[in-house]
Structure 1
Amino acid sequence: MIRRRSTPWIHRWSRTVMAAIAAITVLETAYLTIAKFTTGSVICPTSGCDKVLNSPYATVFGTVPLSLLGCLAYLSIAILALAPKAVNPDTNKGLYSQLENKTWQGLFIITAAMVIFSSYLMYLMAFEIQELCIYCISSAVFALSLFVLTLVGREWEDIGQLVFTGILVVMVSSIGALGLYNSVKAPVTVSSPGIAPPAVTTTSGPAQIALAQHLRQIGAKEYGAYWCPHCHDQKMLFGKEAAKIIDYFECDPRGQNSRAEICQAAAANVKGFPTWEIKGQFYSGTKQLDELADLSGYPGPRNFKN
């Protein structure tokens, strides 16, 4: 009598575990994406999360949040992990077998690419941004966990083909990551006038104008980028008249009246946009006018209208 070999528990549960991990990371990256488009701030025990979230490395192609791409990737993993469970293997064995093989291949490619990309992002966080973001670290750990589960979650028959596919994924992912972020550090020459930021539609009251004049008098600087929604929010708080007085530094080489070279000189302290430099200290994120008044020692009226 031939005894059938029992299926290892990891093979039976790997897809379910992967779907659960992917669901958690979908929620995490969705939260980061919403925060990126709204307040620019997240719940975090350190200020590093906000600085990483608002850094130039947190977007691709200038406007697309990296967290949004991560959310889509994790959602794809969840769908691929659960897809075969939608088919009854007893009544449709052929389709089930096809889904099993194709989805495992897809899971391997996506998770391998995410591990490579996450590794590069960990390098950027540690050596370029130099801040700690627990969301980024947890995402990288989840990506690695999903990759390991993909490797051990089934019995791979053609190891040679798997290695070959892995090498291709490493090459493509590495080139893609380097290409996406090389432009963040590399100076780019753009013909004047460059891309203009969104128009400031609010008006300034006397208090906003007085605060803007005070900030300029003490040498305060605001570093930002034309595509940064939080930089626009900051200008809207001041109003269009006062915003023109602020000593504003456009840090994207493609932006209007760019001063990217000055921004690069201050890159060690400018971790995200906007960043204020006031009396030699750097403060990241959109600041309420009362807070700017406190930081700068502003003595004037504070009946700010916006």
Structure 2
Amino acid sequence: MAKRKGQHGKRGGSTAKSAQRRKRQPDRPVLGLALLGMLITLYLTVTASTSAGLPLCAEGSACDIIQGSRWSTLFGIPVALFGFLTYGLIAFVSFEMKPTLRRWRWQWAVSLIGLTVSLYLTALGLYHLQAVCLWCLASLAVITAIFIWLTVRRPEAAPGRPWKDWLINTGAAALVVVGVMQLHYSNLLSPGFGRADPQLQALATHLAEQDARFFGASWCPACQQQKDLFGAASEELPYVECSPRGRGGLMASVCVTAGIESYPTWVINGQRHEGVLEPERLARLSGFRWATTQD
């Protein structure tokens, strides 16, 4: 009798597990795309953390420029990691949640936010750097495919006014996320925004008075890093734009005459210095009394 009960218990447990599996019913198309997105963004995150080169992303290429730019991180964290977490959430929902309207809403909302952010970052790269990252475009294609698939498969249980209200609210959430990113990249969230450091302001003015020159390009990530070191005082730097027509345009004649080959390049007291220079070194090279001013 005990044996029969044990067998019955086993059969009951197996039946319960089978029923649970049937109820789960993973959304395989979305799950597969989400896993592909996770692989792409994980690879981007690892290479960003280790400074390793990417295939199809040679030094000086459009992809390399994107990866080295200020827009490749958010609050000091690789943007690719946020992408990985987004795909991870979509994958989790697609696998764990039951095939109900609630699951679809989660999938659709997260994919909409991910697509909006991806389009925003692509637009930043095109506008500021005149460049796009092939790996980033691959991720954009994946999140777009997920969003389109989910939109086409919108359940019949989501029509009418409630659907429109939910759509507006979700779209508003996506715009809020992009708005916060824009505030961050504009340094509006940085402490002391708009107030120039007196010492950096004095150094920038001194460099201009010494007839120093800071040659750079609008699409050059290292040039932006150089400006970021001066904060609001960067407006006073003796900057020379070498690429007025964008990344694919001709170099400005003043830069050709100066023999500029890489960005940024500083010319101080007739000496050429390539790469990003710390303010302290610029002070030493130009004869600025950095330590005295600091005291």
Q: For 2:224 and 2:113, how far apart are their aligned partners in 1?
A: 38
Q: Does 1:24 align with 2:36?
A: yes
For residues 40 and 259 of structure 1, the distance between their equivalents in structure 2, rounded to whole angstroms, comes to: 33
User: CA 1:26–1:248 in 2, change beyond 3 Å: closer, same or farther?
Assistant: closer
Cα deviation, residue 76, structure 1: 0.7
Q: Does 1:34 align with 2:53?
A: no
- Normalising by structure 1, we get a TM-score of 0.56
Question: Aligned pair in 2 of structure 1 residues 83, 249: CA closer, same or farther (>3 Å)?
Answer: closer
Preserved CA contact (<8 Å) 2:114 2:143:
yes
SS in 2 for 1:260: helix
Matches within 5 A, 1:1-306: 15-39=27-51, 41-44=53-56, 47-61=61-75, 63-84=76-97, 96=98, 100-153=100-153, 155-160=155-160, 161-185=162-186, 188-190=193-195, 192=197, 250-252=226-228, 255=229, 259-261=233-235, 262=237, 266=241, 279-283=259-263
Tell me: CA distance 1:27–1:193, structure 2 relative to 1, closer, same or farther (3 Å): farther
Q: Which runs of 5+ in 2 are unaligned?
A: 1-24, 200-211, 248-254, 265-271, 276-295
1:220-253: CA deviations, max 9, x gaps? 8799xxxxxx98xxxxxxxxxxxxxxx997432x
Tell me the secondary structure at the aligned position of residue 18 of structure 1. Answer: helix
Q: Distance in 1 between matches of 2:102 and 2:182?
A: 31
Relative to structure 1, is the Cα distance of residues 259 and 191 closer, same or farther in structure 2, using a 3 angstrom cutoff? Answer: closer
Q: Find the counterpart in structure 1 of residue 20 from structure 2.
A: none
Q: CA deviation at 1:123?
A: 1.5
User: Aligned letter for 2:50?
Assistant: T
Q: CA deviation at 1:154?
A: 5.2
- Check whether the contact 2:66–2:72 (CA below 8 A) recurs between aligned residues: yes
User: Does the C-alpha gap of structure 1 residues 153 and 129 become closer, same or farther in structure 2, counting only changes over 3 Å?
Assistant: same
| Native 8 Å contact 1:35 1:41 kept in 2 | yes
> Do the aligned residues in 2 keep the contact of 1:250 with 1:257 (CA within 8 Å)?
no
d(CA) in 2 for partners of 1:23 and 1:263? 48
Q: Which runs of 5+ in 1 are unaligned?
A: 1-12, 85-95, 195-217, 224-229, 232-246, 272-276, 285-291, 296-306
The answer as to whether partners of 1:250 and 1:258 remain within 8 angstroms in 2 is no
Question: Which secondary structure does the structure 1 equivalent of 2:128 belong to?
Answer: helix
Change in Cα spacing, 1:78 to 1:131, as seen in structure 2 (3 Å) is same
Amino acid at match of 2:167: G
Matched residues, percent identical? Answer: 18
Q: Number of paired residues? A: 213
1:44–1:56 Cα change, 3 Å? same
Counterpart Cα distance in 1 of 2:33 and 2:260: 44
CA change 1:154–1:167 in 2 (3 A) is: closer
> Hey, what's the Cα distance between the residues in 2 that align with 1:20 and 1:28?
13
User: By percentage of residues, which structure has more helix?
Assistant: 2
The alpha carbon displacement at 1:268 in A equals 6.1
Q: Provide the rounded CA distance (Å) in 1 between the counterparts of 2:224 and 2:89.
A: 41
Deviations 1:170-227 (A, max 9, x none): 2222233133124434683246389xxxxxxxxxxxxxxxxxxxxxxx978799xxxx
Aligned mates of 1:143, 1:83 — CA distance in 2: 20
Amino acid at match of 1:260: S
Q: CA RMSD in A?
A: 4.2
- Structure 1 residue 102: Cα displacement: 2.5
Alpha-carbon distance in structure 2 between the residues aligned to 1:74 and 1:158: 24
